[in-house]
Amino acid sequence: MVDPSKSPAVQSYNAEIARQRSAEPDDLDQGLEATFPASDPVSATQSSVASTVDSHSANDLGEFPLVDEALRSTGEFGGTEDRGRVQSLRRDAVRLSDHASEVASGAVAVGKAEAKSVIQSVGELVKERPLTAVGIVAAVAWIWGATR
């Protein structure tokens, strides 16, 4: 049932779709469907409906009340001991973020200083040997023009 008005690519695509629809699922497809994470229930013992956070508990828990509520609902957020660990981890994350910002700004400053140094050294070389610099620029310009 080949339609001469359709391109070979469209004909091949339609033939592949028809073959896939008529074929039985192979072992790979069945294995993937059986192990796909979305097919497993999220929680067999607890409901997945979130409850509201009262303002008192949100103020006690810190900056991320929804995260704390989610941890509490899964049982992973225990008493004061776990709350202290979470707050300690948050402080460490903030310190790490600040340190990363300092390193990045330092790297930018070093890069700018290095660029200035290169520009100054090129400027000094041009002042020392102006004819050589003109020759190099002319050669680069000729090569660039020849490749365009």
Q: Hey, is 41 helix, strand or coil?
A: coil
pTM: 0.34
pLDDT at 44 over 50: no
CA distance linking residue 9 with residue 2, whole number of Å? 12
* pLDDT over 90 percentage in the chain: 25
Q: What is the pLDDT of residue 18?
A: 86
R_g of the chain, CA atoms, integer Å: 33
| 55-112 pLDDT per residue, tens | 444 444 456 667 767 766 776 655 566 677 878 888 888 889 888 988 998 999 899 9
Q: What is the pLDDT of residue 139?
A: 95
Alpha-carbon distances of 143 from 69, 86, 122, 132, 136, rounded to whole Å: 66, 61, 21, 17, 11
Q: What is the pLDDT of residue 79?
A: 58
